[in-house]
Amino acid sequence: MEIFGIPTQALFGQLLIGLINGSFYALLSLGLAVIFGLLNIINFTHGAQYMMGAFCAWFLLNKAGIGYWWALLLAPLIVGATGVIIERLMLARLYKLDHLYGLLLTFGLALIIQGLFRNEFGSSGQPYPIPNQLVGGQNLGFMFLPLYRAWVIVASLIVCLGTWYVIERTKLGAYLRAGTENAPLVQAFGINVPRMITLTYGFGVGLAALAGVMAAPIYQVNPLMGADMIIVVFAVVVIGGMGSIMGAIVTGFGLGVIEGLTKVFYPEASNTVIFIIMAIVLLIKPTGLFGTQK
Amino acid sequence: MKRKLSSTLITAAFALGAGAAQAQISDGVIKIGVLNDQSSLYADLTGPGSTLAARLAVEDFGAAKKGMKVEVIAADHQNKPDVGSTIARTWYDTDKVDVIVDVPTSSVALAVNQITREKGKAFLVSGAATSDLTGKACSPNTIHWTYDTWMLANGTANAVVKTGGDSWFFITADYAFGHALERDVEAVVLKSGGKVLGKVRVPLNTQDFSSFLLQAQASKAKVIGLANAGGDTTNSIKQAGEFGITKGGQSMAGLLVFLTEIHGLGLERAQGLTFTETFYWDTNDATRAFTKRFAAANNNKYPTMIHAGVYSAVLHYLKAVEASKTDDGTKVIAQMKAMPTDDPLFGKGSIRADGRKIHPAYLYEVKKPAESKGVYDYYKVRATIPADQAFRPMEQGECPLVAKK
């Protein structure tokens, strides 16, 4: 049976691939949405932090012999710590100013970090092996699904839904949301708002690093990996609505699938389809599909 | 009357003086511009390494001792034809650059080729691949040095088809280079009696090839031809391993692969790949000596054939400038074609009327991890294609410079 000239079997395979890519988009745009939605910082360094997460995993493996599973825990912590330092030393000074200063700062930081890594490591990339427990795959009939990619979908779904739950449904999340709406009042209740904000930024950065570690075995660990991703991820966040956590998750997965379908029917446009959708959404609903007027 | 005579004589004297200056080097300096990708997916296989290769060539030529002033400058064209064109025009018009070298990314090379011809300068292509540079777009101001898509097709595709790979599926980088390589390989495959079962065009610098590899898998072609280069090739090969493509009986044919990609992939993943190149660092004592000097100044990274090509081209260019006593582009290129070439990296060779540099090509296979004795010990030679067979015969190129008999 064929749909528009593509056999259904091949189509399901492409949808699954789209979901896998969507998981990376969702993880990354979640981090961005958390940082922007709660802290009002446009974090352009996100792509560089994703790349740092992947390099951290590579370092841990090649210099310290620490494998993938520990790297999943350690890399976000290490890169998150650098995020905390950036926030304390630089970003905290810009909260009183216009959004744009934060954007400029993080953009500059991204260029510096990427340039340093590229100077040191070149652009060809470093190899990083798939962990032994996830090598191989399952023949599903309509396609061969690598085990590792299935793991990526499952892991990112768990992390995304977990984060959404914490922010929208728990007391800690409530403090955070309140703190960004009215910081002095929340502080009057005895809650240390600046520390909460710093840790939240660190958490968002940690999410980016986690995505980087998960990407390391399938994409090349190379200094340019963040730059290519970040533009697409920003488009995803804009389409989903800049402040909405659930919006980022749903849009991430959804756009991954749409991009996957474009690759089947008209691959030459696969780079640009997300931006076309972004343009249309901005024209019709400027706050994004799930965003609310602030 | 007397004043008019003397002023006429003085003017005549100046005019004669100006005429004599034309046979010398313009503004006394030979300026070489290295234009390539310094920051993106091709930066390792060309990039700063090419600038270093040019400087080594200037050193080895002994410009200082011969009293010639030579300057080397570099710029990043970011793989964009508009950026490359702007830099080329500024270099030629304002910065008095005499020759541009390298220029990977065939779309940029074609643009610079046109500009160089308009301005009567010189263009030595090492990085770009499209065989159109010595075909439809050939120019009396351009020499295509290291390799081209026809040579790759003739070397790699022929070898693959002979070993039974008679049905192909192409994954092609969607711009001038990918299209040219796909066209030339398809011609070879069809001529040898093979079939092309499908093609997919992928935007340059794509991170994720899973969707395209899936289509290749579904086509059931015996060979998946990768008409791309640099980071695109490494990503394709790495991801193909995940999808069990080689286990399923299909083989990957890397149509343009460099030492830097093998280094980035690691022998575990790259073993068994066969492809054609024209230079390998471990070929003989001369290439090894050059590699030692190169690596010492290049962060211990070894030279690719593009770097070697830049060295060889600049060396021959300087010899031609010395012989013809001018740096006028068209004249120097003509002189370069008239002189046979000889350098430690490519040995003896020659340059044809259509601007094609001729030297032998080699079919290499990547060693298994157990066979490698050290860092960068990656290739073994499977076959040597002699110089007169490695490149497209001049009559087949449709180059307007070649007189039809």
DSSP string spanning A207-241?
A: HHHHHHHHHTTTS-B-TTHHHHHHHHHHHHHHHH-
Distance CA B82, CA B89 (A): 11
Q: Are residues B45 and B160 in the same domain?
A: no
A81-97: average pLDDT: 89
Residues A2-284, CATH architecture? Orthogonal Bundle (1.10)
In a domain, B77, yes or no: yes
A31-55: average pLDDT: 89
A50-78: average pLDDT: 93
* Confidence grade of residue A69 (pLDDT, cut at 50, 70, 90): very high
- For residue A67, with 0-12 CB atoms within 10 Å meaning exposed, 13-18 middle and 19 or more buried, which class applies? middle
B43 in reach of chain A (CB within 8 A): yes
Q: Could you list the pLDDT tens digit for every one of the 405 residues in chain B?
A: 556 655 555 555 454 444 444 446 777 899 999 999 998 888 889 999 999 999 999 999 998 888 889 999 999 999 999 999 999 999 999 999 999 999 999 999 999 999 999 999 999 999 999 999 999 999 999 999 999 999 999 999 988 888 888 899 999 999 999 999 999 999 999 998 899 999 999 988 887 888 899 889 888 899 999 999 988 898 898 888 878 787 778 888 889 999 988 988 888 888 888 899 999 999 999 999 999 999 999 989 999 999 999 999 999 999 999 999 888 999 999 999 999 999 999 989 999 999 999 999 999 999 989 999 988 999 999 889 999 989 999 988 889 888 664
Q: Are residues B254 and B385 in the same domain?
A: yes
Range of the domain at B309: 28-147+283-359
Q: Are residues B143 and B173 in the same domain?
A: no
> Residue B17's pLDDT is what?
44
CB-CB contact of A215 with A203 (8 Å): no
Q: Are residues B130 and B187 in the same domain?
A: no
B19 in reach of chain A (CB within 8 A): no
How many structural domains is chain B composed of?
2
CB-CB contact of B394 with B402 (8 Å): yes
CB atoms within 10 A of CB A192: 13
Q: Are residues B270 and B369 in the same domain?
A: yes
Domain boundaries, chain A: 2-284
Select the residue from B211, B236, B260, B298 to test the A interface by mutation, using most A Cβ atoms within 10 A: B211
In a domain, B308, yes or no: yes
Pick the residue with more confidence: A176 or B81? B81
B318, B340, B359 - which closes a domain: B359
| DSSP at B368 | P
Cα angle A265-A268-A269, degrees, rounded to a multiple of 5: 80
Distance CA B305, CA B368 (A): 22
CB atoms within 10 A of CB B146: 27
Q: Rounded to 5, what percent of chain B is helix, strand, coil?
A: 45, 20, 35
CA A78 to chain centre: 17
In a domain, B395, yes or no: no
Q: Are residues B51 and B162 in the same domain?
A: no
What percent of chain A has a predicted confidence (pLDDT) above 90?
37
- Alpha helices for B195-275 (secondary structure H): 210-219, 231-242, 259-265, 267-270
Distance CA B108, CA B128 (A): 8
> Residue B20's pLDDT is what?
41
What's the mean pLDDT when you consider all of chain A?
87
Instruction: Tell me which chain B residue has its CA closest to the CA of residue A269.
Output: B203
CB-CB contact of B222 with B167 (8 Å): yes
Distance CA B72, CA B100 (A): 10
- What is the amino acid identity at position B227? A
Select the residue from A120, A124, A143, A265 to test the B interface by mutation, using most B Cβ atoms within 10 A: A124
Distance CA A171, CA A168 (A): 9
Q: Is the pLDDT of residue A60 over 90?
A: yes
CB-CB contact of B302 with B281 (8 Å): yes
The tokens of A90 are what? Answer: 């630089």
A27-42: average pLDDT: 85
Q: Are residues B127 and B38 in the same domain?
A: yes
pLDDT digits (tens, 9 = 90+) for A107-118: 999 999 999 998
Q: Are residues B38 and B137 in the same domain?
A: yes
Instruction: Tell me which chain B residue has its CA closest to the CA of residue A142.
Output: B218
Instruction: Tell me which chain B residue has its CA closest to the CA of residue A136.
Output: B242
Select the residue from A2, A114, A123, A266 to test the B interface by mutation, using most B Cβ atoms within 10 A: A123
Q: Are residues B141 and B156 in the same domain?
A: no
- The residues on A that touch B, with CB distances below 8 Å, are 7, 9-10, 13-14, 17-18, 20-21, 118, 122-127, 129-130, 136-137, 143-144, 146, 148-149, 218-220, 222, 224-225, 228-229, 260, 263-264, 267-268, 270-271
| DSSP at A162 | H
Q: Are residues B243 and B355 in the same domain?
A: no
> Residue B159's pLDDT is what?
87
CA B112 to chain centre: 14
Please report, in angstroms and rounded to a whole number, the separation of the first and last CA atoms in chain A. 48
In a domain, B318, yes or no: yes
> Residue A186's pLDDT is what?
85
What percent of chain A has a predicted confidence (pLDDT) above 70?
96
Sign of CA dihedral B272, B277, B281, B286: positive
Residue B265: give its domain's CATH number.
3.40.50.2300
The DSSP bridge partners found for residue B385 are B361
Q: Are residues B179 and B309 in the same domain?
A: no
- Non-local CB neighbours of B1 within 8 Å, separated by 6+ positions: none
Sign of CA dihedral B81, B82, B86, B87: negative
